[in-house]
Amino acid sequence: MSIDTRLAPARPFRVIGTGAARNQDVDLVECVACGRQGVTTFLEPDKRPLATIWWPMSESEAKAMRIYPHHFVRCIHCGHVFNKSFTYADVPYTRKSNLMFNQGTYWKGHLQAIRQLLLRSLPATPVVVEIGCGDGSLLREMAKSMPAGKFYGFDPNAASVTEDGVEFRGELFEPNTHLRQLRPDIIICRHVLEHLQQPMRFLEQIAVVASVGTTPVRMYLEVPCVDRAISICRLSDYYYEHNSHFTTSSLRAMLYRVGGVIESLDRYYCDEVLGAVINYPPERKMKEAAAETLGHLQSSQQALTNIGAQLDVLARRDVRVAVWGGTGKASSFMNLCGVDSNRFPCVVDSDSDKWNTYVPGTGQCIQSPNVLLHHPADIILIPMSWRARDIAQEMRRRGITCSQILIEHQMQLVDFESGDHPY
Closest CA to 404 of 372, 382, 422, 375: 382
In this prediction, residue 157 has a pLDDT band, given cuts at 50, 70 and 90, of confident
pLDDT for res 2: 37
Residue 217 near residue 189, CB atoms below 8 Å: no
- Does 102 score more than 80 pLDDT? no
pTM of the predicted protein model: 0.76
Q: What is the share, in percent, of the chain residues with pLDDT greater than 70? A: 92
CA distance 139 to 142: 5
CB contact set of 194 (below 8 Å; sequence gap of 6+): 223, 224, 242, 243, 244, 245, 246
Closest CA to 325 of 308, 311, 344: 344
Residue 221 near residue 278, CB atoms below 8 Å: yes
CA distance 179 to 352: 55
> Where, residue-wise, is CATH 3.40.50.720 in the chain?
308-415
Number of helices followed by number of strands (H, E) in the chain = 11, 21
- Does 21 score more than 80 pLDDT? no
> Where, residue-wise, is CATH 3.40.50.150 in the chain?
104-286
pLDDT digits (tens, 9 = 90+) for 204-224: 999 999 988 888 899 999 999
Residue 82 near residue 32, CB atoms below 8 Å: yes
Closest CA to 319 of 406, 383, 410, 388: 406
- Does 171 score more than 70 pLDDT? yes
| Mean pLDDT along residues 373-397 | 96
Residue 40 near residue 76, CB atoms below 8 Å: yes
In this prediction, residue 6 has a pLDDT band, given cuts at 50, 70 and 90, of very low
Query: Which CATH architecture does the domain made up of 104-286 adopt?
Result: 3-Layer(aba) Sandwich (3.40)
Ranked by mean pLDDT, which of 7-16, 115-124, 376-385 comes out on top?
Answer: 376-385
CB contact set of 100 (below 8 Å; sequence gap of 6+): 134, 191
CA distance 23 to 230: 19
CA 359 to chain centroid? 35
CATH code for the domain defined by 308-415: 3.40.50.720
